[in-house]
Amino acid sequence: MRVQAMTAAVLILATAACSPAEEKTPAPAEAPLTGRAAVYAAGEKDAEAFVRALYANAAAPQPNDPKAAMITPGREPLYSRTLNALVGVDFREAKGEVPYLNYDPICACQDADGFAMTALKMTPDGDRAASAEVTFTNHGQTHRQTLKLVKEGPMWRIADVVDDKGKSLHDALMAIAEKAG
């Protein structure tokens, strides 16, 4: 009986070894990330990928982007902790009126039309900081600004936006915070 069981086991193994391999169904391809999700993923790669994703998202924003819908002033994942704190103070100090930051600092606008990044120059400022000089068009006009970036945790974030006249968003918001005391 034991010999028969062993013979049967050997035959099963031999048959399995000679049978054609089962065709494996390929795993479904993951859809490419879009909107805020793409920006967050790029922010974990490197500073340049982060900036390019920011401006690509501004050029083609996703309507009803669930990642953007839940963001409240002072809790923007794209901003550094310091910039978020300053935005929060700005919003609270407005006391229901229009705060200083009532525009999108990425496009320096309230709405974009024909928006496109046309040039980018990255300058590393150490391992965890960088500057991005960005040129873009919006509403047919060319704009320039510099993003000061910082790496907090695994992600690059915006620490400041400096316009082409040298005006710093961080400094303007800091003045509001200092006045609030």
Residue type, 173: L
User: Which residues, at least 6 apart from 64, have a Cβ–Cβ distance to it below 8 Å?
Assistant: none
The model's pLDDT over 165-176, given as tens digits with 9 standing for 90+, comes to 999 999 999 999
Region 33-180: CATH code: 3.10.450
Given a cut of 70, the residues of the chain with pLDDT beneath it are 1-29
| Distance from C-alpha of 138 to C-alpha of 15, rounded to nearest angstrom | 68
Which position has the token pair 């600092």? 105
pTM beyond 0.75, yes or no: yes
The sign of the torsion formed by the CA atoms of 137, 139, 145, 151 equals negative
For the chain, domain boundaries: 33-180
> What pLDDT is attached to residue 28?
61
β-partners of residue 142 are: 137
Closest to 171 in 3D by CA, of 117, 100, 106, 102 = 100
> What single-letter DSSP state applies at residue 20?
P
